[in-house]
Structure 1
Amino acid sequence: MKYPIAIQQGDDNTAYGIIIPDIAGCYSASDEYENILKNAKEAIVLHISGMMKDGEPIPMPTDSDNYKDDPDFEGVSWATVDVQIDELY
């Protein structure tokens, strides 16, 4: 499953912010640009694992275009993270 992630620009004093909009409450951050995808995947796996333990439905990924007109995502960069849900069982 390929989840879109929104990346908020970081700088010398601020980490890159990572938002997974398809999974409510799922966020991460990275001091290094190179670790954004790894950190996002870790956040998704941990969040979904908790949802599975709680018996909650797993949100399906959508396309980042669903958020293009959302002012909360103005100025972010987009990427996708591939998470194999069957590996979590």
Structure 2
Amino acid sequence: MQYPIAIYQQNNAYHVTVPDIESISVIDSSMAGAVSNTRMAVMSHLYHLIEEDLPIPQPSSVTEHLIKPKYAGYTWAIVSVELSRIMGKTVEVTLQLPSQLISQATEQFADESLDKIVLMALKSYVKNQSNG
């Protein structure tokens, strides 16, 4: 995932914000340090979201932000984050499940793919087993 970051210099420091993750703000004495620390902050934030099973914000394009007055005069860069480094590699699994169960699940979660339904159920099961 590639997140655009907005950078401005003030009082001999580089200030960075991530428009797609507004809670992230980084200040560093060098631009390289500011960009590097922002990348680490984004990775840490995404890791937390994954751990809490919260949605991951999708990155927008820089051009979406260039027209916003609050970013006038900012310098733009991109921080790239590989989700597989945070989540780990995926494993393909083949399952045989009763058709009635599949029908019930896809009916109850009509807006979700079957892969996501199974993943949610597995996460819930593992969480309940570790709590009990």
Q: Which runs of 4+ in 1 moved over 4 A?
A: none
User: Are residues 1:10 and 2:1 paired?
Assistant: no
Cα shift at 1:61: 1.1
Cα shift at 1:46: 1.1
Matches of 2:25 and 2:48, distance apart in 1: 14
Cα shift at 1:36: 2.4
Residue in structure 2 matched with residue 81 of structure 1 by the alignment: 79
Percent pairwise identity: 29
Higher relative contact order structure (alpha carbons within 8 Å, sequence separation ≥ 6): 1
SS at match of 2:48: helix
Kindly report the root-mean-square deviation, in angstroms, between the aligned alpha carbons of the 2 structures.
1.3
Higher helix share: 2
Cα deviation 1:30-54 (Å, max 9, x = unaligned)? 1112212211101101111111122
Higher strand share: 1
Matches of 2:22 and 2:56, distance apart in 1: 11
Matches of 2:81 and 2:53, distance apart in 1: 19
TM-score, normalising length: structure 2: 0.61
Unaligned runs of 5+ in 2: 88-132
Matches of 1:48 and 1:29, distance apart in 2: 20
Matches of 1:45 and 1:24, distance apart in 2: 14
8 Å Cα contact 2:16-2:35 kept in structure 1: no
Between Structure 1 and Structure 2, whose CA radius of gyration is higher? 2
Residue in structure 1 matched with residue 99 of structure 2 by the alignment: none
Unaligned runs of 5+ in 1: none
TM-score, normalising length: structure 1: 0.87
Cα shift at 1:80: 0.5
